Amino acid sequence: MDYNHEDYESIKNYMQSQGGECSVKNIKKCSGAHPLRIYPVLFRMEKENELEVIEQTLFGAPLQVRLKK
């Protein structure tokens, strides 16, 4: 079983249900993805040009993200 892929699908489906843009806090709370895999999945999605980071912390962790169309 590929848990990373399951979390990827959970995050993507949650973001689509929220209109494509949401906070990472809400992704953690509502997507059903494992909390320790959320940031790696988001970074992978950003690297693959599936999403863009709208707001980030001083150290580069995403706070608000949006799916690219």
pLDDT digits (tens, 9 = 90+) for 7-21: 999 999 999 999 999
Q: Which helix (H) or strand (E) holds 28?
A: helix 24-30
CATH of the domain at 46: 1.10.10.10
| Count of domains observed in the chain | 1
Residue 69 pLDDT: 79
C-alpha 69/C-alpha 60 separation (Å) is 23
Query: For the segment 10-58, what is each residue's pLDDT rounded down to a tens digit?
Result: 999 999 999 999 999 999 999 999 999 999 999 999 999 999 999 999 9
| Kind of pairing between the strands at 62-67 and 21-23 | antiparallel
C-alpha 36/C-alpha 19 separation (Å) is 24
Q: Provide the residue range defining the domain that includes 18.
A: 3-67
Residue 1 pLDDT: 82
Its pTM stands at 0.92
16 CB-near residues (< 8 Å, 6+ apart): 67
